Amino acid sequence: DAMVIQNPRYQVTQFGKPVTLSCSQTLNHNVMYWYQQKSSQAPKLLFHYYDKDFNNEADTPDNFQSRRPNTSFCFLDIRSPGLGDAAMYLCATSRDRDMAYEQYFGPGTRLTVT
């Protein structure tokens, strides 16, 4: 089945230790998104790629970076995680930017910072 896959499902990192979260998709969608979702809150968009075009949200901290080496994969890098970065990180895709095409979400990676 075509899908959005996130690895790992659970990630524990130490304060200040860089961590990378992975997302892959078999939908061949042009757009990939990374969201941060804290407990009992709405998902907050960090950035998105339209093909290779990177679009950062204005309030996304510099501590968060992303890479998209090809259509299928997208990575979220947190350079120096703080305790406040503990959250669920959701990857999503859409066929195109026109949001009449719905977004397809992965199951998320829950990040714990110790």
Partner 1 sequence: GDSVTQMEGPVTLSEEAFLTINCTYTATGYPSLFWYVQYPGEGLQLLLKATKADDKGSNKGFEATYRKETTSFHLEKGSVQVSDSAVYFCALSDRGSGNTPLVFGKGTRLSVIA
Q: Which residues bind partner 1 (CB under 8 A)?
A: 4, 6, 33, 40-43, 45, 48, 50, 90, 92, 97-100, 102-108
CB of 12 to partner 1, least distance (A): 17
CB of 100 to partner 1, least distance (A): 5
87 versus 90: smaller Cβ distance to partner 1? 90
Query: CB-based burial of residue 62 (10 Å sphere; 0-12 exposed, 13-18 middle, 19+ buried)?
Result: exposed
57 versus 77: smaller Cβ distance to partner 1? 57
Determine contact, residues 95/31, Cβ cutoff 8 Å: yes
CB of 45 to partner 1, least distance (A): 5
Name the residue with tokens 């970065």.
85
